[in-house]
Amino acid sequence: MSEPNAPQDPFEVYRRLWGPLGVPVPGMAMPTLDPQELDKRIQELKAVEAWLGMNLNMLRLAIQALEMQKAGLAAMQQAMAAASPQDKDRKP
């Protein structure tokens, strides 16, 4: 049985939360003292950061393209609405 005043692992809550789902939580494993392992983890996280940054930029471009498309459609609808009263005046 554990002592009531014993320090608890602050990451245990996250391990219990994510563990049953089978989702590995990065950085939640035992810390390592091996500099090569730390360098490997740093490089992996930098690669993930670069990938996420690229995806964020692609998402921003997609949003901008949709906003431009929406603005173009709105302008076209306004032009058609402005032209339609003139068409009614031309009828015999």
**Global pTM?**
0.52
Q: Is the dihedral of CA 80, 81, 85, 88 positive or negative?
A: positive
25 and 15 Cβ atoms separated by less than 8 Å = yes
The DSSP result for 1-46, as a single string, is ---TTSPPPTTHHHHHHHGGGTPPPTT-S-----HHHHHHHHHHHH
76 and 69 Cβ atoms separated by less than 8 Å = no
| Predicted pLDDT of residue 32 | 75
pLDDT in tens, 1-41: 455 665 577 667 666 666 655 555 555 566 778 889 999 99
84 pLDDT tier (thresholds 50, 70, 90): confident
- The distance between the two most distant Cα atoms of the chain, rounded to a whole number of Å, is 97
Tokens coding 29:
């494993």
pLDDT in tens, 24-83: 555 556 677 888 999 999 999 999 999 999 999 999 999 999 999 999 999 999 999 998
